[in-house]
Amino acid sequence: MHYWLLKTEPSELSIDTLAERGDAGACWEGVRNYQARNMLRDQVQLGDKVFIYHSSCAQIGIAGIARVIRSAYPDPSQFDKHSIYFDAASTLEKPRWISVDVCHERTFAEIVSLQALKANPALSDLAVVKKGSRLSVSPVAADEWKAVLKMAGK
DNA sequence: GCCAACGTTGGC
DNA sequence: GCCAACGTTGGC
């Protein structure tokens, strides 16, 4: 099992919205970066745990935990002409973009802020604390996972 | 709204 | 294949 960090703008899909979906979970769609796509396709596995990170918002940071309930499959939004994620160059036979499904596991009592993440020396390698990091999917080491849980309390 | 960092595009 | 121009991301 591996750990990941998934970025989302809460106005698009927040940890609260994810919680409302319950066991059905949500499709993690709209990843349009090849490096992130490759990780979704090749490495993210059923049962993996992910941190849900809120970006571009009032409270930036890790908001909670979700679990992968369906591994790599073609991102439906690439075929949807009405979606902002529509990609005319992608075909059913050769889909270009990949989704996974995740379901909510836990919302932290308080968001573990980016500031706090940056202040923790144990997390200096976390992609999200690095300047210019734009990957929407990034790996989290087991000890980093534990360190964040500790910061979240309990 | 600003701007640094990064990714993609396209002319050559 | 190089690289300048452009677009996007995302923290501040």
- CATH assignment of the domain containing A80: 3.10.590.10
pLDDT at residue number A154 = 66
Instruction: Please indicate, yes or no, if residue A153 is contained in any of the structural domains.
Output: no
Instruction: Please indicate, yes or no, if residue A152 is contained in any of the structural domains.
Output: no
Question: Which residue places its CA closest to the C1' of nucleotide B4?
Answer: A132
The pLDDT tens digits for A116-146 are: 999 999 999 999 999 888 899 999 999 999 9
The pLDDT tens digits for A58-95 are: 999 999 999 999 999 999 999 988 888 988 888 888 88
pLDDT at residue number A88 = 83
Q: What is the DSSP letter of A88?
A: T
A16: three-class secondary structure by DSSP: helix
pLDDT at residue number A71 = 95
User: In terms of DSSP bridges, do strands A3-8 and A49-54 run parallel, antiparallel, or are they unpaired?
Assistant: parallel
Overall number of domains in chain A: 1
Percent of chain A whose predicted confidence (pLDDT) is above 90: 86
Report the distance from CA of residue A19 to the C1' of nucleotide C6 in Å, as an integer.
39
Alpha-carbon gap, residue A149 to A145, rounded angstroms:
6
Whose CA is closest to A13, among A27, A31, A32? A27
Q: By the 8 A CB rule, do A70 and A23 touch?
A: no
A129 touches strand C (CB under 7 A): no
A114 touches strand C (CB under 7 A): yes
Segment A43-56 mean pLDDT: 97
Instruction: Please indicate, yes or no, if residue A154 is contained in any of the structural domains.
Output: no
Report the distance from CA of residue A154 to the C1' of nucleotide C6 in Å, as an integer.
47
State which H helix or E strand residue A86 sits in. Answer: none
Report the distance from CA of residue A32 to the C1' of nucleotide B5 in Å, as an integer.
18
Q: Which residue range is the domain that position A17 belongs to?
A: 3-147
pLDDT at residue number A133 = 86
DSSP string, A17-84: HHHHHGGG-EEE-----HHHHHHHHHT--TT-EEEEEE-SSSS-EEEEEEEEEEEEEE-GGGG-TTST
If you average pLDDT over every residue of chain A, what do you get?
Answer: 94
Instruction: Please indicate, yes or no, if residue A48 is contained in any of the structural domains.
Output: yes
Report the distance from CA of residue A23 to the C1' of nucleotide C9 in Å, as an integer.
31
Instruction: Please indicate, yes or no, if residue A140 is contained in any of the structural domains.
Output: yes
